[in-house]
Amino acid sequence: MRPDTTEETFVPAWWLPEGHSQTLWRKFSGAETVEHVRNRVDLEDGDFIDVDFLSASQMDAARQRALVVLLHGLCGSSSSSYILSLQRHLSKEGYSSVAMNFRGCSGELNRRGRAYHSGVSDDLQEVLNAVIETFNPDAISLVGYSLGGNVLLKWLGEGRDYAMINRAVAVSTPFTLGLCSQAMLSGAARLYSGYFTRRLLSDFLAKRQAFKQAGAADFDLLSELGDMSHVSSILDFDEAITAPLHGFRNASEYYERCSSIHFLTGIAVPTLLIQASDDPLIPLAALPDPRQLSASTRLELSAKGGHVGFVSGRNSNWLEHRILRFLHD
């Protein structure tokens, strides 16, 4: 166990003994749907972000003024199984929640050429401003998964005004983006890289074609990126699309400027980091050491759990209960 971490008591389900099975079960086992109320946040650049609200259970009115904002991972949405599961648990415990869909992730093409990436903390700021104005909560807690965890931690460490934020949780965060991208070029991680790359590239090409047909103002921006036949990995995608589309010189600069590991010392709100040693997407070398954690931040590293897995049984919901315990404290 690393000296900067606390070993948690997560024990995997016997039929999901290692990181790959934990990761894939969470991804493909599905989750019970919830009845969202969709709100659209209009952004300053003319684009929009959809957020999906779920009200608190009437059984516990005491905490209904506490709102939890959830951020999904790469190629996810408010319909991702881990988002739906946590929202359902939050509602039962008396917390209202809002699941943020990053640009283009709500089922409708966004209006601008830019999309989303691991460092879009400005988008999070605009969403939080709108959420506060719309719902007028007494306090806000934040929970981010994977890419969403990186965005959340970057936002927290940038010195933003977060007087209303009382707690934050980041799960399976790719703290050091360059190391994570490199790790996905070899071994079993290449399977995950292939899945994400195909999804991202398909979405990009569909968007470029739709913008062409509609005569959208940003079509030229997408067209100038050129041929994409060589893109076969996350690194290729970030070099060819993410970086130039969002103002970075190359993938290396994007990774360096957006890795949340550089922002952890600036976090002042109580924050819990939940990671697993057998995460197939995030190598241990990508995790922070003690000097990179602020006094308000706690890293809990489980031996097992995979990537956004932490499934200890069909109905045990270990991850959701761990998050809820931290929010209750």
CA distances from 104 to 37, 111, 134, 226 (A): 18, 9, 22, 21
CA distances from 181 to 35, 119, 192, 233 (A): 35, 15, 11, 9
Catalytic residue list contains 307 = yes
Strands of the sheet with 5-6, listed across from one edge: 5-6, 297-302, 271-276, 165-171, 139-145, 66-71, 96-100, 48-54, 37-42
| Higher local confidence (pLDDT), 58 or 42 | 42
Distance of CA 317 to the CA centre of its chain: 19
- Virtual CA dihedral for 138, 131, 203, 180, nearest 10 degrees? -40
The mean of the pLDDT values for the chain is 93
* Res 5: pLDDT: 47
Choice among 37-41, 57-61, 197-201 with the minimum mean pLDDT: 57-61
Cα 300 to Cα 285: distance, rounded to the nearest angstrom: 15
Question: What is the b/e burial string over 122-144, where b = at least 16 CB atoms within 10 angstroms of the residue's CB?
Answer: ebbebbbebbeeebebeebbbbb
Cβ–Cβ < 8 Å for 250, 295: no
Cβ of 285: how many Cβ atoms within 10 Å?
10
Catalytic residue among 80, 141, 146, 260: 146
Cβ of 229: how many Cβ atoms within 10 Å?
7
Place 272 in a pLDDT band, splitting at 50, 70 and 90: very high
236-270 confidence digits (pLDDT tens): 999 999 999 999 999 999 999 999 999 999 999 99
* Res 64: pLDDT: 58
Catalytic residue list contains 203 = no
**Phi, psi at residue 275, to the nearest 5°?**
-135, 165
* Res 42: pLDDT: 98
* Res 4: pLDDT: 44
Q: What is the mean pLDDT of residues 146-156?
A: 98
Place 165 in a pLDDT band, splitting at 50, 70 and 90: very high
Place 208 in a pLDDT band, splitting at 50, 70 and 90: very high
Query: Which helix or strand (DSSP H or E) is residue 70 part of?
Result: strand 66-71
- pTM over cut 0.75: yes
Q: Is the pLDDT of residue 219 over 80?
A: yes
Catalytic residue among 52, 123, 218, 279: 279
* Res 3: pLDDT: 37
Tokens of 162: 């977060």
Q: Is the pLDDT of residue 103 over 70?
A: yes
For the chain, first and last CA: distance in Å? 25
Catalytic residue among 20, 36, 117, 307: 307
* Res 150: pLDDT: 98
* Res 8: pLDDT: 55
* Res 63: pLDDT: 52
* Res 329: pLDDT: 81
Place 315 in a pLDDT band, splitting at 50, 70 and 90: low
Architecture of domain 5-176+260-328: 3-Layer(aba) Sandwich (3.40)
Cβ–Cβ < 8 Å for 249, 147: no
Catalytic residue list contains 146 = yes
DSSP 101: P
* Res 2: pLDDT: 42
Cα 96 to Cα 90: distance, rounded to the nearest angstrom: 7
| Higher local confidence (pLDDT), 116 or 63 | 116
* Every domain of the chain and the residues it spans: 5-176+260-328, 177-258
Cα 141 to Cα 66: distance, rounded to the nearest angstrom: 8
Cα 172 to Cα 76: distance, rounded to the nearest angstrom: 14
* Res 146: pLDDT: 98
Place 32 in a pLDDT band, splitting at 50, 70 and 90: confident
> What sign for the dihedral angle of Cα 265, 171, 101, 57?
negative
Place 65 in a pLDDT band, splitting at 50, 70 and 90: confident
* Res 46: pLDDT: 97
